[in-house]
Structure 1
Amino acid sequence: MKKLIPLFLITTLGFTGSAFAEGFNNGINQPVNSGFTGGVQNITAAAQAKQMHDDSWVTLQGNIVQRLGDKMYLFRDSSGDINVKIKDKLWQGRSITPNDTIQITGEVDTHRYKPTDIEVKNLQVISVAK
């Protein structure tokens, strides 16, 4: 009998799940292909991010103006600067200059003896300077 319950759940969930599209649904039962649609993501200022609690999620929009070391960069927006840690895989082979506008999403990482930084989880190019 124990073997029949998991099989029943898989069959039932597989059947009911196949009637819906993956991703976010706007609440009116209009399926989307995948991902999030609707709403605007709040942009956090670099100066504000420095004051936030550890592990807070932020989205920043601005420019990377300098490489500080291995995976560490200086990010700047109209409010000021903050260090950001960007893993190699997030660059996806792109070359970004200080004149290019980017949007990054990540977690605030506070430290006891060094400045707060952002551990970047997603990087998007907003505009490329010509």
Structure 2
Amino acid sequence: MRKVSLFSLAGLLWLTLAPAQAHDNWHYDQDREYRDNYRERLPITSVAEAKHLRDDSRIILSGHIVRRLDDDEFLFSDGTGTIKIEMDDDDWRKLRRHRRGRILIWAEVDRDDGRNELEVERVRPAYR
């Protein structure tokens, strides 16, 4: 009887840990797939540099949201300057706990009439 209890306890423990591990692997696979879509390793760019890049350049920025300007427009800063970013509501909701903290954004430069804006493709908290 003791062996059966021990095996059932081990089985229950395995069943509770397996979904958590699968969830972590899913995020890892998603991150790797996203990076592969960029086709190159991108260094973190500063806002000052981003303002001078050509249209459709893909960049990664690290900083924080200064304030919300409109439904999907925000002011982003990294210490070297500020720039307007356009981010979907879904991405904004995902940052609920990290809105005041440092975030990483993957974005595409959108140049119109000499002004640079960033179209955010992906966002996540910067844990480091």
Q: Smaller-chain TM-score range?
A: 0.5 to 0.7
Aligned-partner Cα distance in 2 for 1:108–1:94:
22
Deviation at 1:40, TM superposition (A): 6.2
TM-fit CA distance, 1:90: 1.8
Q: Which runs of 5+ in 1 are unaligned?
A: 1-32
Q: Relative to 1, partners in 2 of residues 1:49 and 1:89: Cα closer, same or farther, differing over 3 Å?
A: same
**Corresponding residue for residue 122 of structure 1:** 122
CA–CA separation in structure 2 for the residues paired with 1:73 and 1:92 = 13
Q: Whose helix proportion is higher, 1 or 2?
A: 2
- Is the CA contact (8 Å cut-off) linking 2:107 and 2:119 kept in structure 1? yes
TM-fit CA distance, 1:109: 0.3
- After the TM superposition, which residues 1-130 of structure 1 pair with which residues of structure 2 at under 5 Å, given as runs? 34=29, 35=32, 41-95=42-96, 96-98=98-100, 100-112=101-113, 115-127=115-127
CA contact (8 A) 2:47 2:77 kept: yes
Poorly superposed stretches of 4+, deviation over 4 Å: none
Q: How much does 1:41 deviate? A: 4.0
Task: Normalising by structure 1, report the TM-score.
Answer: 0.63
Residue 107 of structure 1 aligns with an amino acid whose one-letter code is E
Residue 53 of structure 2 aligns to a residue whose secondary structure is: coil
- CA 1:62–1:83: 2 relative to 1, 3 Å: same
Where do 5+ consecutive residues of structure 2 fail to align?
Answer: 1-27
Name the amino acid aligned to 2:59. V
- Render the CA deviation track for 1:64-100: whole Å, top value 9, x for unaligned: 01001120000000211011000112235431333x0
TM-score, normalised relative to structure 2 = 0.63
Identity %: 32
Count of residue pairs the alignment pairs up: 93
